[in-house]
Amino acid sequence: MSPRGGQKRPKQKAPRREPVAPSRGWPGPGGGQVGGMDPPTMWRATTVQACGLWPFAAGSGAPMTGVPLGQHLHTGATVCGDPLSWFTRARYISNPSLFMLGMPGLGKSTLVNRMLIGLSATGVVPLVLGDLKPDYADTVRALGGQVISIGRGTGGINLLDPGAMGAVAARIGGKAGQALMAEAHGRVLNMVAALITIVRGRPMDDHEQAVLSAVLHHLRERTRPGQAPLLPDVLRVLSEGPDRVRAVTLDRGDEARYRDAVDPLHRSLLGILDGPLGDTFASETSTRVDLHAPAVCIDISRIGEADTQLTAAAMLAAWSDGLGSVAASHALADEGLTPRRWFFTVLDELWRPLRAATGIVDRIDALTRLNRTLGMGDAKITHTLKDAESLGTDADRAKARGFVERAGMVVCAGLPRAEMEELGKIVGLSQREIELVSSWSSPPGWAVTGDREEPPGRGRFLIKVGGRPGLPIKVGITETESRLHDTNVRWVQNDAPAEQPGPGTGTEQQPAAAPDPAAGPAAPPEPDRRIA
């Protein structure tokens, strides 16, 4: 009897482990073998002992909202997702933004390219604002979009042109048009200030921004509708010194005080026009962004790798022009003149403009902070957090780290362990997640077959959202994606014939002598022993 007077419960036997014969596979549903898998451990127990396991519980499934990205590394389930779908439909994130980090060559731009294609199929307009390699131009062309080339002798952007915002403001009119024109003025001022920051290597002074703003207002009031002033016009106004500009300098009628106030700004603008940036930003905009295009790519790949100032300036100008077009499109939709459209911007190689000059992070932050209110998602891509740590001041470093903190989605490709430990302080990574992503940064093994072996981390990503466990995925690209997005295209030999040495070089190829029939078969040629 039990202490409470009931029947004594029979003693339960301990759970017994069932032996499983070792094999290369384990029995499948039809009695066959499922190869390549370890045999599972099998246990037998009563319902009293195993009551917590019945009914059998399973974890939550992989998210199925958004662009199909790949397969879950552990379960094999399809994982879908993108910043816009997870913000608008699934409501997993509160900010439609993605920040991606990873070592070069592991497929970061390939994953973003897939999001770009998938979102385009849903009516979202992809905007690649500053394609450096280019990684996305062929995809945008395949989607029927617009590709704009920027570079010396190729095309330029007039920084003083309000672009689509100015045209839409004139079309709308009224208070809404005035508000849009004021926003366009702020974007132009921000962009010119960014260009001066790049040339100087430090931010503009506050009174200089006030002078520049007054000059831009003066020019806008005296420029005919449909036209835009140029940077040389700013120099002309500074030289003339109209009353509106002089009032900002507090010269009090003293010409020397006025010149002391505007000469540093004047010199910087001269350095832009006469320096490496003048050809690209001192003339009319070559091609404006088409608000009705299904996709837009601003290609700056023709700018040389060593031309860091021009690259950073071109990227910032492309971002300003593209985001201004987004604001113009929404202004038209607000007035009921066009259907509402949503946009997905790609800001690749973020480290380049960040390193251009101290204070440039403020300009990037001003351009991209309000994406949620603009009906726009974005993807920022860089290599490591050290891109932010290399900035000149503590304030700039903190602002650059804020890009990661504010991102709704953080995607990690292969990164060194030290980098993952640092990233874990921002997004909250478990030790297992740190070890997993760190293992993807290992180099490939020493291939003995002569085949080209891929790095173990290529195509593998960890998606983190808030404090949720990360989603490790494997991305397999299709043949079409591989053709449109080949970042190693210059490592493939083309079909052009090799050039023959010219005359007089002493290396002319002599015609081969005719074979002698009496000499028998010719000996096989000597193998080429040059290193491939």
Percent of the chain with pLDDT over 70: 76
Instruction: Check if the beta carbon of residue 185 is closer than 8 Å to that of residue 177.
Output: no
pLDDT computed for residue 38 by the predictor: 63
Residue 332 scores a pLDDT above 90? yes
Q: Is 36 or 196 the better-scoring residue by pLDDT? A: 196
Note whether 276 and 371 are same-domain residues. no
C-alpha distances (whole Å) from 23 to each of 27, 89, 192 are 9, 47, 70
Note whether 231 and 377 are same-domain residues. no
What average pLDDT does this structure show over 34-42? 60
Last residue of a domain, one of 286, 310, 340: 286
Flag whether 12 is in a domain: no
Mean pLDDT of the chain: 80
pLDDT computed for residue 505 by the predictor: 47
What average pLDDT does this structure show over 205-231? 90
What average pLDDT does this structure show over 280-299? 89
Flag whether 344 is in a domain: yes
Note whether 280 and 292 are same-domain residues. no
Residue 319 scores a pLDDT above 90? no
CB-side neighbour CA atoms (13 Å) of 320: 29
pLDDT computed for residue 141 by the predictor: 94
Cite the beta strand spans of 387-489 per DSSP E: 409-412, 460-464, 471-474
Tell how far CA 420 is from the center of its chain.
20
Rounded to 10°, the helix 255-274/206-221 angle is: 80
By C-alpha distance, which of 405, 395, 313 is closest to 359? 395
Bin 317: left if φ > 0, else alpha if -120 < ψ < 50, else beta. Answer: alpha
pLDDT computed for residue 126 by the predictor: 95
Note whether 181 and 270 are same-domain residues. yes
Last residue of a domain, one of 232, 255, 286: 286
Segment 361-406, tens digit of pLDDT: 776 776 556 555 677 888 988 888 877 766 767 777 777 788 888 8
pTM value is 0.75
Domain that holds residue 225: 159-286
Note whether 76 and 104 are same-domain residues. yes
Flag whether 23 is in a domain: no
Last residue of a domain, one of 286, 301, 326: 286
C-alpha to C-alpha distance for 430 and 433, rounded to whole angstroms: 5
Kindly indicate the confidence band of residue 153, based on its pLDDT and cuts at 50, 70 and 90.
Answer: confident
- Provide the CATH number for the domain around residue 384: 3.40.50.300
Structure tokens at 365: 């932050």
By C-alpha distance, which of 213, 220, 157 is closest to 190? 213
3-state secondary structure 293-352: CCCEEEECCCCCCCCHHHHHHHHHHHHHHHHHHHHHHHHHHHCCCCCCCCEEEEECCCHH
Instruction: Check if the beta carbon of residue 183 is closer than 8 Å to that of residue 336.
Output: no
Kindly indicate the confidence band of residue 474, based on its pLDDT and cuts at 50, 70 and 90.
Answer: very high
What average pLDDT does this structure show over 299-315? 82
Residue 281 scores a pLDDT above 60? yes
Note whether 341 and 479 are same-domain residues. yes
Tell how far CA 82 is from the center of its chain.
13
Flag whether 362 is in a domain: yes
SS3 category, 410 = strand
How many structural domains is the chain composed of? 2
Comparing 16-20, 201-205, 246-250, 405-409, the range with the smallest average pLDDT is: 16-20
Flag whether 70 is in a domain: yes
C-alpha to C-alpha distance for 274 and 386, rounded to whole angstroms: 34
In the DSSP assignment, the letter for residue 357 is: S
Residue 495 scores a pLDDT above 90? no
Flag whether 40 is in a domain: no
pLDDT computed for residue 298 by the predictor: 93
Percent of the chain with pLDDT over 90: 37
What average pLDDT does this structure show over 476-487? 80
Note whether 235 and 331 are same-domain residues. no
Kindly indicate the confidence band of residue 302, based on its pLDDT and cuts at 50, 70 and 90.
Answer: confident
pLDDT computed for residue 280 by the predictor: 85
Comparing 15-19, 121-125, 261-265, 489-493, the range with the smallest average pLDDT is: 15-19
pLDDT computed for residue 57 by the predictor: 54
Flag whether 8 is in a domain: no
Structure tokens at 276: 């490496």
Note whether 398 and 427 are same-domain residues. yes
What average pLDDT does this structure show over 416-438? 91
Note whether 479 and 347 are same-domain residues. yes
Note whether 172 and 122 are same-domain residues. no
In order, the DSSP letters of 474-515 are E----HHHHHH--TTGGGS--SPPPPPPPTTSS-PPPPPPPP
Question: Residue type for 494, please?
Answer: N
Q: Is 321 or 519 the better-scoring residue by pLDDT? A: 321
Segment 85-129, tens digit of pLDDT: 999 999 999 889 999 999 888 889 899 999 999 999 999 999 998
pLDDT computed for residue 195 by the predictor: 87
pLDDT computed for residue 309 by the predictor: 82
Note whether 333 and 470 are same-domain residues. yes
pLDDT computed for residue 387 by the predictor: 73
Note whether 177 and 273 are same-domain residues. yes
- Number of DSSP helices (H) and strands (E) in the chain, helices first: 18, 15
Residue 30 scores a pLDDT above 90? no
Residue 1 scores a pLDDT above 50? no
Flag whether 37 is in a domain: no
Side by side, the strands of the sheet bearing 471-474 are 78-80, 68-72, 471-474, 460-464, 409-412, 97-101, 376-382, 343-347, 125-131, 296-299, 146-149
